[in-house]
Amino acid sequence: MLRQDMIGEATRLTRAGRLAEATALLQRMLRGESAPDSKSRSAQPALKEPLIIDAKANAVEENTGPDRPRDKARLQRELLERAKQRRGFVSRGVTARKPLSTSDIVPDGTRFIDASYSNAAGSRAYKLFIPSRNQGRPLPLVVMLHGCTQSPDDFAAGTRMNFIAEEKSCFVVYPAQRSEANRAKCWNWFRAADQQRGIGEPSIIAGITRQVMRDFPIDPNRVYVAGLSAGAAAAAIMGNTYKDLYAAVGVHSGLACGAAIDLPSALVAMRQGGGSSHSVVLGDGTPVPTIVFHGDRDTTVHPNNGNQILEQSVRAMRLQKNTNRGQVPGGHAYTCTILSDASGRGILEHWNIHGAGHAWSGGSPAGSYTDPKGPDATREMLRFFLEHSFAQGSG
């Protein structure tokens, strides 16, 4: 069976509720194997679970890479375990850590409050960081979308975004995905209904953003969205569908908007890179300024996806390219590619972090799925954000 035929068959099995069979078929395709005959497929029991994918972050692992034999064996074991689950997927366990303390999440003298938002698409809780020096004057707002299995507290502790936001006097809001919407609390970036303006999860995230803008002194020209993994894919969607709301986007270990439209294409996108077997969603006009971080040893979301986020935007305009290389003392080397407009202003940045896996670069071990070896994605991301605003004509 040809590759495209296997994807089509996996799609049919998914729609029929036979998720384990669809997963096994895609696993065979990604290993370069042929499909089993129809008789063996029909012998498998049909499953009734709803469509859920756990595009979850892996913990950082030292000295592994996609070309190493034990990495391939580990990947095959992971896929086998996923196929054994009733949903066809399993979330890997999080290494036990000590409970988070307030000092891990927010600096002294600041507030981190609970709130919620509802619209026709549903409701979500969120937490809002309020910097100490706001004094009623309009300040920037950063929307942070966590990865699978994470919470606002965990994501805030791991990225330390609240601490950098306090330095720069920014508000930060952390929408919380509900387990009822996705069992692993992943944002449903791979579903077509959650990739469009005005409906689904994009309407909820935009609604939370606007509610904070209404209730607090937010500068509407300096509102930004960022995320990790599934949250990064959701951030890319928000930047594509709400260009009038977000002045810049941060994507860490994520995928381009439209990289997947269903379960089979999501698996392919995560393992090989998206946008090759279907149309990638593209908005009209110039791209939203975007900064991308991706580890070149990421075995959860293929590093090709980071490149495709930039390629998706570059098609829309001519940009000048500049490449810088660096090394964090005692940490990772990296290559930073900057694409600038005719005026020399950086529009797109891609940080390729050498030796890093699927984890927030430069994050704190207090949170989950972080790589303290840097570079500091949080500081660089916020620096990039504050260089762009609608007042500058960059939105």
Residue by residue, pLDDT tens for the chain (395 residues) are: 555 566 667 666 665 656 566 666 665 655 555 656 544 444 443 333 333 344 444 333 333 333 333 444 454 444 444 433 322 222 333 344 678 999 999 999 999 999 999 999 999 999 999 999 988 899 999 999 999 999 999 999 999 999 999 999 999 999 999 999 999 999 999 999 999 999 999 999 999 999 999 999 999 999 999 999 999 999 999 999 999 999 999 999 999 998 998 878 888 889 888 654 334 444 456 789 999 999 999 999 999 999 888 777 666 567 788 899 999 999 999 999 999 888 888 899 999 999 999 999 999 999 999 999 999 999 999 999 999 999 865 44
What is the model's pTM?
0.79
CA distance 361 to 369: 9
CA distance 294 to 386: 21
**DSSP-derived pairing of the beta strands 171-175 and 122-130:** antiparallel
102-392 maps to which CATH number?
3.40.50.1820
CA distance 362 to 373: 6
CB 283 within 8 A of CB 266: no
Give domain limits for the chain: 3-84, 102-392
CA distance 177 to 233: 14
